[in-house]
Amino acid sequence: MKVAFIGLGTMGLRMARHLVAAGHEVVACDTDPACAAALGTATAATPAEAVAGAAVAFASLPSVAVVEQVFLGQGGLREGARPGTVLVDMSTSAPTLARRIHQECLADGIPVLDAPVSGGPTGADAATLTIMVGGAADSFERCRPLFELMGSLVRHVGGPGTGQAAKLCNNLMAGCNMAALAESCAIAQREGIDPAVFYELVTSSTGDSKVLRNRFPLAGVSDRHPASAEWSPMFMLDLIVKDMELARDLAAAHGLTAEMTSAALAQYRAGQQAGLGALDYSAVYVVKQPDAR
């Protein structure tokens, strides 16, 4: 099958490699030609060129503005896709934009799925991502075999935008969890508790979480954790800010307050002001303990 893949950054390249390994004809497109070339397949200069003749086009993009441009802008996917080509947004974006893209493309006979992922670079490498898909059920079933090459848990959530909503709810929890974890670890450190002992205790207690196991913010406990690798990003602090802002806005659109989200966001914004935005979001710990960096 001919497939286009737009956005060959950290996640996109890793996901697209599984499609290539399965024998699909993948055309790569990225604003950085070197990123597109890294896939080792045919490349295209624009999303419109990449999607020409493709059955499915995937996009993995860094921001809401870029998603809008790639799907609906000049030289974008809507411009180049033929009726029946399925466009799939695997970025984390706004449900409102996902629904607008769906409506505008469907007017041209082009179905769209929003399919954000969770699992980070490790999950992308291992094809163990969780993929949350919103859109028409028949389009989901057409793309399911491709999704299953990239993820181990693939679920159709509901109509357009619901995949994005599910991902934002997930990242709201992850962001709040990490902010609380940073606060907890700062207290434990001030009390002189050995980090390795604290980690062992909490991972066997009710405070345990995937966030803790992947991002414990006290250095030296595990080489897998960003704190032990100079906060090398698995997911940047700037990106958790973007996602939590989107989640807060989604709550507001439903008439809900989001006090926990707002409190955690204040910590991440303090991290941005301290120059931590390009580090892993577990570096929010540095807001509490500046000497940890």
Q: How many other C-beta atoms can be found within 10 angstroms of the C-beta atom of residue 37?
A: 13
Distance CA 236, CA 243 (A): 11
Q: Please return the burial class of 261, using the count of CB atoms within 10 Å of its CB with bins 0-12, 13-18 and 19+.
A: buried
Helices 162-190, 95-106: axis angle to 10 degrees equals 160
Distance CA 82, CA 123 (A): 32
Given a contact cutoff of 8 angstroms between Cβ atoms, the answer to whether 287 and 271 are in contact is yes
**Could you confirm whether 167 is annotated as catalytic?**
yes
Distance CA 55, CA 19 (A): 13
Q: Which of 167, 210, 242, 288 is catalytic?
A: 167
| The total number of residues written for the chain in this structure | 293
Active site residues: 167
